[in-house]
A and B are shown apart, each in its own frame.
Chain A
Amino acid sequence: MSLDVARLWNDFPDLLPEPLSRARGATAYRLKLPSFPWGRDFSWAELVLPHGFPDHAVAKIMLSPDAVLRIPHVEYSGALCIEGDPGPGCGYSANDRALLLLLAYQERFLGPWLAGDLDGDFSTEPLNYWYIEVEKARSRADPVRAVWTIDECPPRPQVREGLLLLPSRIVIAGDRDMPITGRTINSLGAARASQQIRVLIADIPLSHPLTPATWPRTASDLDQLLNGRLRPAQRVSFRHPLRQRGGSVHRIVLLRHGTCAFAYLLPGGPATVIELERGKKTYPPRSGPLPLRVHRLDPAWTVGRDQHPEVAHRQTQHVLVLGAGALGSPVVEHLAKAGVGYITLVDGDNLAPANIGRHLLGADAIGQDKADAVARRVNASQPASHVTPIVMNAGKWLDSNTLAGVDLVLDLTGEHDVRWQVEQARRLHPCPLLIGWMEPYVAAAHVCSLMSDTSWLQGTEDLMGKLGAVDWPDDVIRQEPGCSSRFQSYTAAAAAYAVALVAENALKMLDGAVVEPRVVSWVRGQRYLNDQRSDLALRDWAATAATHDGLLIERAFP
């Protein structure tokens, strides 16, 4: 049912019933404004019913452009960001929906705004307002589009260098010699970072986020802030940077607080050359400051959302991963995503078509060395980590290398010989070891977490068979997992449980959360086994999983 304006006016006398046409078929009705105290005025407010209201659209309140960034909860378009119209499908008539919105406008916005109760609300979502400020100032001639930070906010203001990457016009706020700088540039690829230009950055910590009420608006405001926050020597080096070959340098003020960061490109700097479809165009230096978005790419944020202090430690860790198969390849990606700083990946195979259903890599990597291709992929997408590929059979690599400098070994090859060789290497360089493997059909997966002083081999006995969850009939091709068994048809989804088990336990070891050797097993229930074959049964120790879809069982290492 459509809106009965006369009735709505009767219910809400501040609505002016004359309809006004708005863009895209919308209809608007002005609202009577109160007498404003000083500084709290805005020119107009409207109830806007978009085309499609009430069946396919919701009504909204729009405020005049002078309210944007001056009054909280107003979007760039002028739309007031309040929940009011419950929308179609809630059992309300069009009139009731519009009336609910008008009541919300009056009681949750206008009254509180006039009383000063919304004045602190800019600080509840400062970045939203900053993005409006950035959007307002944006033009095609901007020398810089965004700033990416790759380390944590410094405790004290500092003047540092950064790199402007062209043609993407992204500034990396990091010195060239920081490894993560190179990795981040690598992630962008040649299409976005074919050229690097040095810029100067005043990197200033904030004690609280900026808001439209407090952020600098003019070059003079910024100057005042720089005067107040930089030490005298820093001011000199920032204001009069040493120029390379006589050219001028872009200068950026970066203001950081926890998850909120703000940046300005200062006026001046070199001219900007923009590549257009038909050649290049040169724009003169800006005459005013340019507000910029800042994206955090430091591991504390990308990996841990600032809630995992252990990320800093992981960044220093070196993990050796043996095997880049269906288990090893996604585990490497998980470790990189979790912020492990250095990963060496050893595997001599190349990718076959049969692998791509359950491997990290896909058809685009068929025929490529797995270690190389996995490293390329992870390095390009996860700058918090660096993967070094070794295209060599793990056993062969262990013949000629030691574990010196390795903080954790993950043996995901499932190969007896490799396990034996790892043990020999650990005798020379004691090192924590995690052995992970899957049983056929991923009916079970196991992780053995061993401290530096715990051996996997007990005498000459290899425990892998003993630790299994299922007594496999002889006709199940039970080559060691990791080999290209053709008959274990399992999905990547089934393997994902095993991947998560290995990755999570590896991280626990790195984080120091594992204090004694243990075995953790993921065991699928009887129904899953029956789906594979009718003659499979769980061993006694694993029988508790029978009635479940799957169960995690932890045991002491024998």
Chain B
Amino acid sequence: MPPSKNADLVLNAERRRRVRLMEAVASLRKGTALESYHDQMKALGPWALELNYVNQHITVPQEQIDDAAKAYHSVARRLVTELKWPDDAIKVLPQGSASTQTLIRSPDRSKFDVDAVCQVDLNRIAAREPIAFFDEVGDALEPLDPTRKNRCWNVDVTGDPFYLEFTPSVPLDTVPGVALESMARQYTPVEQYRSTALAVVDNRTRQWKTSNPEGMTKWVNDVAQLQLIRIVALESATALDKSLSIEPVPNQEVEIIDTLKVAIRLFKRHRDMCVYRQTIDKEFKPISIIIVTLLTSCYAGLADLGRTYGHPVELLADLADLLPGMVLELNGKYRVDNPTVEGENFAERWNMDEGERYEAFETWCDILAADMRTILAATDPQVIRERVRSVFGCGGNTSGSGGASGSGGSGNQQPTRRPPPPPPKTTGLA
């Protein structure tokens, strides 16, 4: 009897798996006595270092995150001022990838979304009807030219590399009783996360809808704490680099040990690269919340089953391996359950598009597994570097997004003289 729903999903995924990346990893260690963490790192170090490099490369710079935080606090202040709500009636919280440290840069330098929940205590304000509440927030944002989306207002902050996605919400318990009952028939908060449950406005149905971004964040963060790597004493990456004679990566912290979050970040990047290379259709790409949910469920299930791994690369390989099988298929319908809201299926649209999204998901999983296999098949550190950076689009000729990791500089010596610049050329229309 499996100990949990997630463990059950993992067992099911293990039965359905088509490839065994783990075997590729195991073959890399053949003949090596892996008795210490250092041995493990040495055997799988080149992969770990390169994947870690990718992990650093795709990180959104902290100053941009700080700017985004400032921007959404400024928007919150605007709401308080414009709507004349009491200061303490509104709370703005980051949600989604911004809150789970899984926000990543896009390959094409397009803007990234910073999701924020604007949580308002309905008892303190006049609004009661969901659309009126949503519109009231939109009206207050009007000078920022917001775009209406199903559950949020999108604000394009000119000159900044991000959009703000502002989701007006109220604590679930402040929703009037009648409305709450009609919602309850569809979606109920999972008891464990009840205290953070919210009601957001669903513009399609013009009703309140249960949501729990804070619960979701807590779930991901809680699961990420579970330890699946057998040796937890992390040795100095600098010492490791020296032993391997490999150039140090810019950030010396080997964060790959935080394997769930690294997996979420790397796999999301891989998905983005597939869209960038157009091997999957942008319209049907697996959305981030599905990737996060499947990976976190898988990670939690592996922990529930007592599985452990010698190295984060092994775990990453296994996660890539098990991912496609983690989707539940019941009565011909695909399901990826929201772990914090009973009855909400993140994969609802997969059942309404003649299989387009599911096929895109499968294709992506296949490419991910194939790419991981190609990476793990290399042994020369230089080849590993080329393959990893090519697959994840980092640097040089395969780069999607910029940012050289090297010292840069434009030459060796500075010019000593500068002629006056020529006037700009003008051209006619031919």
Contact = CB atoms under 8 A, between A and B. Distances in A.
Given A39-B395, A40-B404, A40-B406, A207 B416 contact: no
B198 interface: no
B158 interface: no
Contacts of A99: 415, 417-419
A32 B411 contact: yes
B415 A102 contact: yes
Nearest to B410: A111
Contacts of A460: none
Nearest to B395: A39
Interface string B404-430: 111111111111111101100100000
A213 B393 contact: yes
Given A39-B399, A225-B278, A34 B404 contact: no
Contact of B367 (A32, A83, A224): A224
A154 interface: no
Contact of A110 (B389, B410, B413): B410
A123 interface: yes
B281 interface: yes
Nearest to A66: B397
Interface string A206-236: 1110101110100000001101110110000
B275 interface: yes
Contacts of B108: 120, 123, 208
A516 to B, nearest CB: 34
Interface residues of A, number: 54
Given A13-B412, A210-B278, A225-B279, A92 B397 contact: no
Nearest to A225: B279
Contacts of A119: 109, 399-403
A106 B416 contact: no
A14 interface: yes
A35 B409 CA distance: 9
Interface string A2-44: 0000000011111000000000000000011011111110000
Nearest to A257: B278
A463 to B, nearest CB: 40
B415 A213 contact: no
Contacts of A502: none
A117 B108 CA distance: 12
Contact of A115 (B279, B364, B404, B412): B404
A255 interface: yes
A214 B366 CA distance: 19
Q: Which residue of A40, A92, A102 has the most chain B CB atoms within 10 A of its CB atom? A: A40
Interface in A423-450: none
Most buried by B among A107, A212, A228, A255: A228
A214 B277 contact: yes
B280 interface: yes
Contacts of B280: 228-229
A106 B395 contact: no
B417 A114 contact: no
Contacts of B363: 227-228
Nearest to A116: B402
Interface string A119-142: 110010000000000000000000
A39 B275 contact: no
Contacts of B278: 204, 206-208, 210, 214, 225, 229, 255
Contacts of A116: 395, 399, 402-404
B398 A213 contact: yes
A12 B410 CA distance: 13
Interface string A192-215: 000000000000101110101110
A106 B415 contact: yes
B385 interface: yes
B396 A40 contact: yes
Nearest to A102: B415
Given A39-B397, A123-B108, A228-B274, A34 B422 contact: no
A492 interface: no
Contact of A207 (B282, B367, B425): B282
A188 interface: no
Contacts of A216: 277
Contact of A13 (B364, B402, B416): B416
Given A90-B422, A231-B359, A255-B278, A212 B397 contact: yes
Contacts of B414: 13
B353 to A, nearest CB: 11
B409 A111 contact: yes
Given A39-B399, A116-B404, A86 B422 contact: yes
Which secondary structure characterizes the binding site on chain B? loop
A14 B412 contact: yes
Interface string B258-287: 000000000000000011111111110000
A152 interface: no
Contacts of A213: 393, 397-400
Interface string B320-360: 00000000000000000000000000000000000000011
B106 to A, nearest CB: 11
Interface string B132-175: 00000000000000000000000000000000000000000000
A70 interface: yes
Contacts of B370: 224
A35 B281 contact: no
Given A38-B395, A40-B404, A228-B360, A110 B411 contact: yes
A114 B406 contact: yes
B186 to A, nearest CB: 32
B411 A14 contact: yes
A112 to B, nearest CB: 8
A540 B282 CA distance: 64
Contacts of A35: 406-407, 409
A496 interface: no
A216 B276 CA distance: 12
Contacts of B393: 213
A100 interface: yes
A96 interface: yes
A37 B406 contact: yes
A12 B325 CA distance: 61
Nearest to B354: A231
Nearest to A224: B279
B397 A11 contact: no
A32 B385 CA distance: 27
Contact of B398 (A34, A39, A106, A110): A39
A356 interface: no
A214 B395 contact: no
A37 B405 contact: yes
Nearest to B394: A39
Nearest to B419: A96
Interface string B360-376: 10011011001000000
7 contacts: A37-B407, A39-B389, A119-B109, A120-B108, A120-B401, A224-B367, A225-B277
Interface of A: 10-14, 31-32, 34-40, 70-71, 83, 86, 90, 92, 96, 99-100, 102-103, 106-107, 110-111, 114-120, 123, 204, 206-208, 210, 212-214, 216, 224-225, 227-229, 231-232, 255
Given A34-B412, A224-B367, A229-B281, 14 more contacts: A13-B414, A13-B415, A32-B412, A34-B409, A39-B395, A40-B406, A99-B417, A99-B418, A119-B399, A120-B109, A120-B402, A210-B278, A224-B279, A227-B366
Give the 10 A-B CB pairs with smallest separation, nearest first: A39-B396, A37-B406, A116-B402, A111-B410, A119-B402, A86-B422, A13-B413, A96-B419, A228-B279, A207-B282
